[in-house]
Structure 1
Amino acid sequence: MPDEDRFQALFRAAYPDLVRFVERRLHPLAAEDVVAEVFVVAWRRLEEVPADHGRARAWLFGVAQRTMLNARRGDARRQALAVRVGSVLPADVVPDGSDQVVSQVDLARAWCLLSPADQEALTLTALDGLTTVEAAGVLGISRTALSLRLVRARRRLRVHLDHPATPKTAPADGGPR
């Protein structure tokens, strides 16, 4: 059976069970993303997927379990970063006479509202101490593009600090809200 036919048969046979498996462990909205990632892995490593249906299903469940663990670790890293950001406040962010703890909580909350692209640009330059040239190299973009991203990210962070709000989601593209 050609690879594409084998993959489609695997997908049709295992998809509903895999979605239920993941939904019991995560929010239903996150389950589809995890299952999609599992099938990306299955496609890339199709030669490693057992031919037997039961063993293939178990293999997919194992990939799903590892995918969920990786997602949890990523969430924990992002939360820890928000806390670290709150503890490394630049002097110009904390207004004179303000309560340091309140400011840290506000910054951590505002940080979580930024897109991942904004967070990464600010983290590389402010916390990791990279120059704009070095950070641009890490991100694979030009120095000018990084500088523009930093200006916009700082502006959005300042807006979130000045006007605390809780939007439902941060934009995926790092664009304005």
Structure 2
Amino acid sequence: MNRATADAEAAFRELFEAAYDDLLVFVERRTDFALADDVVAETFLVAWRRLDDVPGSLDAARAWLFTVAHNLLRNRQRSEQRQQKLVLRILREPEGYTGGDADAVAAHVDLARAWQHLSPADQEALTLTAIEDLTGPQAAHVLGISRTAFSLRLLRARRRLRQHLRQQQEPGPAPSPATARPASSGGPA
């Protein structure tokens, strides 16, 4: 390990120890407790990746971290709003629906239900390509990931959406013979 790396790690560790608790409380006040740890982790990931941009004084660095966390929260909120708009769009009646196509309505309801089971990352990948009409490389750039990583994310999101759709369309399991009839109290006949 070279000297610059050791100094960077020490500076990051000092910043982490000085700001983590306060940053977590800041984020918890603004979002669900379940998401707070993720947002704080993302904030410190940004700080590590952009360590040269973090101000030198501890007070200024803490303020910088709070700004990053605030921006991450705003980005999450915008993403959730886009996803909710997409769900509403999916639930709208299909173009030209005249009331006679129950299968089309059922398909839309199934899609909306399946959509709710997807993770936010899966929803985002599908939204960027299907709704925002971005190409794979463009969507990868938006998310700040490689083209290959986005292609894998999109492939997996599509696979999970199809899986959720199939699960909704499959009838429930048929009762087994042992559970279908009441058990007799007299033992085998």
Aligned length: 150
Percent sequence identity is: 39
RMSD: 4.0
Q: Secondary structure at the match of 2:88?
A: helix
- What is the TM-score when the length of structure 1 is the normalising length? 0.64
1:70 CA drift (Å): 0.5
1:105 CA drift (Å): 5.4
2:114, 2:161 within 8 Å by CA — same for their partners in 1? no
1:18 aligns with 2:23: yes
Query: Aligned partners of 2:79 and 2:68: how far apart in 1?
Result: 16
**1:108-143 CA-partner distances (Å, limit 9, x unpaired):** 23321134547845984699599xxxxxx88435xx
Query: Aligned partners of 2:15 and 2:134: how far apart in 1?
Result: 47
* Residue in structure 1 matched with residue 72 of structure 2 by the alignment: 67
1:77 CA drift (Å): 1.3
The higher radius of gyration belongs to: 2
Structure 2 portions without partners, runs of 5+: 1-5, 136-146, 172-189
Structure 1 portions without partners, runs of 5+: 131-136, 164-177
Question: In 2 relative to 1, CA 162–75 (structure 1 residues): closer, same or farther, beyond 3 Å?
Answer: farther
* Residue in structure 1 matched with residue 175 of structure 2 by the alignment: none
- What is the TM-score when the length of structure 2 is the normalising length? 0.61
* Residue in structure 1 matched with residue 168 of structure 2 by the alignment: 160
1:65 CA drift (Å): 0.4
Q: Secondary structure at the match of 1:78?
A: helix
Query: Aligned partners of 2:52 and 2:19: how far apart in 1?
Result: 17
1:19, 1:32 within 8 Å by CA — same for their partners in 2? yes
* Residue in structure 2 matched with residue 29 of structure 1 by the alignment: 34
* Residue in structure 1 matched with residue 138 of structure 2 by the alignment: none
Question: In 2 relative to 1, CA 95–151 (structure 1 residues): closer, same or farther, beyond 3 Å?
Answer: farther
Residue 11 of structure 2: which of 6, 19, 24 is its match?
A: 6
1:113 aligns with 2:117: yes
